[in-house]
Every structure is written in C-alpha cells, then in structure tokens.
Amino acid sequence: MPRGDGRLSHDLDPQRPGPQDACGVFGVWAPGEEVANLTYFGLYALQHRGQEAAGIAVSDGSGVVVYKDLGLVAQVFDEPTLASLRGHVAIGHARYSTTGASTWENAQPTIRATSSGTTIALAHNGNLVNTAELQREVAERGLGTDGSTNDTSLVTMLLASRPDLSVEAAALEVLPRLRGAFSFVFMDESTLYAARDPHGVRPLVLGRLERGWVVASETAALDIVGASVVREVEPGELIAIDAEGLRSTRFAAPEPKGCLFEYVYIARPDATIAGRNVHAARVQIGRQLAKEHPVDADLVIPVPESGTPAAIGYAEGSGITYGAGLVKNPYVGRTFIQPSQTLRQLGIRLKLNPLRENVRGKRLVVVDDSIVRGNTQRAIVRMLREAGAVEVHVRISSPPVSWPCFYGIDFATRAELLANGLDNDGIRRSIGADTLGYVSLSGLIAATEQPKTRLCRACFDGEYPIELPVGNLIGKHVLEGIGRRVANHSADEIGSAEQLVPQLDSFGDLKPSATTNRP
C-alpha cells in the first residue's frame, strides 16, 4: 500500500520530483550492544538518502534474520520489532531505487544462503553498470531467483555461489568483476564486511564504538550512535570485522572519483567527505556565486532547505542581507491523494509558501542547489512575484545538470534536463527570472578542496569515469524486461555519449549505454 513518506527535501513538486537521492547503508559489529537499535538510529540519520524502503539484518552467531518493508525507517520499525532482532552484528539500508522498481522484493538488505549453511545479507549504495552481464552469468549458472530485480541481489547470489570459499574469499573473487559505483555493507553469521568500488564514487566511512565498530554512508550516522570517526573506507578496499579484530584487504587499485553532487545536494550538511565539511563547502560555493554573479538586490533568500548554506555564503560574499522568504511545510511529503484540478494548479504551494511581508517590494536573490527540469524554480519565481517581489534573481549552487547519472542518482532523462536543450538565457526565460547565474564548475570544485582529477563530474560535463557498456541498455528497469536492447550497434558505430543522445531521449526513463568520455 502506498503511503506518505515524511520530510523530503528533494520533492517540492509531487508530479515532478527532482534528483532522487542515493541509498544509505549502515553496519555495526558490537557484542553486548543492542545492534538493531544502533542500526535503526543510523538509518534514521541517513533517511535523506532514501525514503522508499528500509531494512535491517541481524545475527546472533547462529543465523541471520532480515526485516524489511516499504516506507520510512520510523514506519517500518517499532520497538517490539527491534526488540526481536537480537545479535551482535547488523546491517541496515534506506532505499531509493536506482535499479529495480520500488517493490518489497527489491527492498534491502538482500539475503542468500549457501549450500554449506552460511547466510549472507547485503546492502548497497550506488549502481552497477554491468548489471546485464551479471544477470547473464547468474542465469547461465542456474543460481535461481528470489523475485527481485536489482543489482544488489545479483551480487548477493554470486557471493553465495561459492560454498567452497569463505565469504571473505568469495568477496575477493566477486568484487573485482563488478563495474560501477558500490559502497557495500554485508554480513554472515559472525562477521561484518564493508567494501567500496575502486573509484570511491559513493561515500563510506568507518567508525569506532567503545565495544565495536561501525560503517556508514555518512559521518552523521556515526555521530548519532556515538561512534568516533576513524577514516573513510578506501576505494578498492574490503574490510572484515569479527572477534579477531579488523582486517583490511585491497581487491583493486584505487582510482578516486568521488561524486561531486554529494557536496551540492545529497549529503547532510553536517557530514564530512574527504576531510571537507559539507556545510562549509556549500557556504563557500555561495560566496563563489556572489563573486561570479553579482547583482543589486535587497534580500538573499534560500529555497529551503537545500539552498540554505549557499544562500548564507552568497549573502556573506555580496553584503546583501540574508533572510527568509519561503516557508516549507515539513510534514508534507509525496502525496498519494490526487488533488483536484484547482488544487493541482497550486503546485508546490502544498509545500512552500512565501513570507509576503518579507518579499513585498523587494529585489530578491533566490538561491537553490540545482535546476533539473525547471518546474520547481518556475513555480517559485511566479509565487514570489505574486507575493509582491519586484525582481527575482535566481542563483544556482551547481553548474547546469546536462547529463544523466549512471552511478546511483536517479536524475531525469537527458531529454527532460532543461540545460540539455537551452542556453543560460533560454533557461532564465523558461523559469521567468530577471537574471540567472550558475556557479562555475571550477568554482564548485574549488569549494570541495579536492582536485578535479579525484571527482566524478559526469552530470555536469559528460565525462563518465567508469566505462559504460556498449550495446546494452543500462537503467533502472534493465532487469525487469522493460528495457529495450540497443540492437546491432558495435562500439565503432556508437562511439560516444553524445552520439547516443537521440536513442537515450527516445527511451524515456531508460538509459542506454555510452562510452567513457564526452568528446
């Protein structure tokens, strides 16, 4: 049964959602602790990364139990359920679907038993790009199916397909064969494992408890359970934690390409990525915006909440007063009750309302994190003008989003991306703003304090650091038989991402493959 999903920052327009977040993963090995409760609170801290489903797997040493369902963490779990999940090792997952539909079967953690009696549970943040290849291998080896249609289940099946090997040894065999973005937490009856792809696209951090260890997608999840940050799980690293302690093994040489969009939007502002506080990075992006796109105005306002840090930075950099101009209803998530046509025309007023006294007669700078389709910004500009704003200048704390993501963020298709078909002035006219300014890619990169070569910038510049498969569709529904195969195209015929654009646009939500770099 569909149900509302609470406080969402990305979904101001229920009919036209913005970029959907990556998933959140959490794992804990802590004998003597209530590991299910720790995992619950860790997932609660990661709720912003996925709101479709949640699940926890727990082991007491004799067997692995998984409890999962569709909905928010607080909707899926209650005190009696958590009390029944006893053990010393646990993993958890908060899901937004990037491969496979939003169904119970695709909720995580996934679970699979080996013929030798070992049980493996696994949770995944990211997206593989050789999913079709893995599916063929699973089918050819007759490994069976559990009704799921996601890449995570395929990995779990492959890990469980070698009963002659330990889970750790099986992982060292399987992980090098995976292509794409993955931050895994997985477990058997006695051991917690964590692994990160060689490019480290999605974040994963290691923390220390007084009586154990924690791994999580973001440092904020460590904070909430009282764990101290030890370090990031390194790209290409497999960690195993059991009664013998912590072991680290390299399964691939590191080639860091951390997701740049984490700094813009996905991560919590209180998270730290590669040593850089996300809130500080976003404030710096705002200062850079003020330097690159100054304007005479009376008030700087954010689009809550994702635009707030950059708006603070813009106000600091420009000397223009910072203030509130839009109020968000924090209790309205996606609505599954369709409004009447009259209410539908109100659009995002269900979620945002202007502070008329603050904006009337003012020249406004409105700061937001990104423009995808432009629907939200268009509605906000109109709303502010109706509330009496005399000028509306839009400033965006990321460059134009022109390319889809294949590594764990579910953007719109390229055909729907506003920046794909319009130049800056065309976008400005489309959303109705007086002026429009995006931060430069170089300015955004500088704010992260990371070198350009260590960041994935594909959604901004089309340069995909992990090669995408030629001749296969890749996308959310590739395992459900919805995808249509790109037939009779050799690598020479396809050639580049840009050449593939007409095909990509024609498939709607389905995203066919491309080669590594935009020419």
Q: How far apart are the first and last CA of the chain?
A: 46
Only one residue has tokens 């260590």, namely 454
Q: Are 21 and 205 in contact (CB under 8 A)?
A: no
Rounded to the nearest 10 degrees, the angle between the axes of helix 308-318 and helix 278-292 is: 50
Q: Are 325 and 363 in contact (CB under 8 A)?
A: no
Tokens found for residue 205: 């951090």
> Is 23 marked active-site?
yes
Q: How far is CA 116 from the centre of its chain?
A: 35
Under 8 Å CB-to-CB from 65, ≥6 apart: which residues?
Answer: 57, 58, 59, 85, 87
Tokens found for residue 215: 């791994």
- What phi, psi does 386 have (nearest 5°)? -65, -25
Q: Are 123 and 218 in contact (CB under 8 A)?
A: no
Distance CA 4, CA 470 (A): 39
Distance CA 286, CA 267 (A): 17
Q: How far is CA 402 from the centre of its chain?
A: 17
Distance CA 119, CA 288 (A): 51
Tokens found for residue 430: 């489309």
Q: Catalytic pick from 23, 259, 456, 459?
A: 23
Compute how many other C-beta atoms are within 10 angstroms of the C-beta atom of residue 113. Answer: 13
SS3 state of residue 314: helix
Catalytic residues: 23
